Structure 1
Amino acid sequence: MRYLIITSLLFIYSNLSMAQIKQIEDFKWKNRVLVIYSNEYSTSLLDSQSEEIKSDLEEFKVRDLIVLILEDEIVKSLNLKKEQYLNYEQILERLNVNSEDGYQNILIGKDGGIKMRKDQPIKNEKLFATIDAMPMRKREMKDKN
């Protein structure tokens, strides 16, 4: 019975915390985040990256990796089910993205630090290898075994 109550409380807490995401820092220590910035001149790069991601969403879930897309001055997600109220301009400023940059992929670790920045689409294998080499991810994999 005690286990059921604790599990229920953890489930409720995790759902509430995801429902209240208002800034990119709210993901810290819970998720890694891949931010994809695209302006109107780089939609083909965004389309390419989106297809790459969609081909392997389960692996994104395993790595606690949320995908945020910054396009047309709004923030969308490919794999975040809960409503989020992230501010487009605030994310650009926080990640030091110039609105004239055509395209950027920015990988943020669970610690909130920028781990990778590329101006071209990234293959899932490269992304996963980068994440899997991180100390926190190595601990996660070890703990699951």
Structure 2
Amino acid sequence: MLHINSFLSAPHGLFRNGNSSVSLTSGLLMLASSLLTCSTSQAADNPIFRSLTPETANLDRYQWHYRPVLIFAPSKTDANYVQQMAILEKSKVELVERDIIVLSDTSPASKGYLRSQLNPHGFEVMLVGKDGGVKLRQQKPLSSEMLLSTIDKMPMRKANL
């Protein structure tokens, strides 16, 4: 079974399996099949869905490799947060295709470093480009159409098509 970890860490868009390589297209098809079998309850365990820890001081480790989507919410039960996660869950394959990683901070009391830097108010979602710049920021759930079309207009995304 193909694990998403192998995709996210694979160099040059190839899956490595011992001495053999599988083409990106074949790998993406296997990945899509694997992702579609995951249940909604596994979203938090999926490597594209991660918690933004209070210690995270910057997003340098993602720069030039991923497009982080940052989600700040008062709690995991916040209606906007639940809606946003459901929207993203339905678009997992498209998120992977666009090198998106979803980082959530649902603990305002923990006073995370990025939370204090970005100063979100209540629920807020942000798209950060591979260059590290904030490309989109809003205080309501972001539709997958808006997210994906914003990314598809980016020069780096166009260069990869």
TM-score band by shorter chain is: 0.5 to 0.7
Is 1:30–2:65 an aligned residue pair? Answer: yes
Q: C-alpha displacement at 1:89, in angstroms?
A: 1.6
Aligned equivalents of 1:118, 1:11: Cα separation in 2: 32
1:124 and 2:124 aligned: no
Shift of 1:97: 1.6
Moved over 2 A (4+): none
Counterpart in the other structure of 2:90:
55
* TM-score, length basis structure 2: 0.61
1:90 corresponds in structure 2 to 113
How many aligned residue pairs are there? 109
Q: Secondary structure at the match of 1:45?
A: helix
Deviation (angstroms), 1:25: 1.7
Gaps of 5+ in 2: 1-8, 12-55
Say what the alpha-carbon RMSD is for the aligned residues: 2.6
Alpha carbons of 1:88 and 1:32: their partners in 2 closer, same or farther (altered >3 Å)? Answer: farther
Report if aligned partners of 1:33, 1:66 keep a CA contact under 8 Å in 2.
Answer: yes
Percent sequence identity over aligned pairs: 28
Offset at residue 73 of structure 1 (A): 4.7
Match of 1:106 in 2: 126
Residues 35-76 of structure 1: per-residue CA shift (max 9 Å, x gap): 0000149700000000000011010000000001101259xx
Q: Is the 8 A contact 1:103 1:119 kept in 2?
A: yes
Q: Contact 1:42/1:102 (CA < 8 Å) preserved in 2?
A: no
SS of the aligned residue for 1:110 comes to: coil
1:41–1:102 CA contact under 8 A, matched in 2: no
Which is bigger in relative contact order (C-alpha 8 A, separation at least 6)?
Answer: 1
In 2, Cα distance between the equivalents of 1:139 and 1:56?
22
For residue 6 of structure 1, what is the aligned residue in structure 2? none
Can you give the 5+ residue segments of structure 1 that lack an aligned partner in the other structure? 1-9, 13-21, 75-86
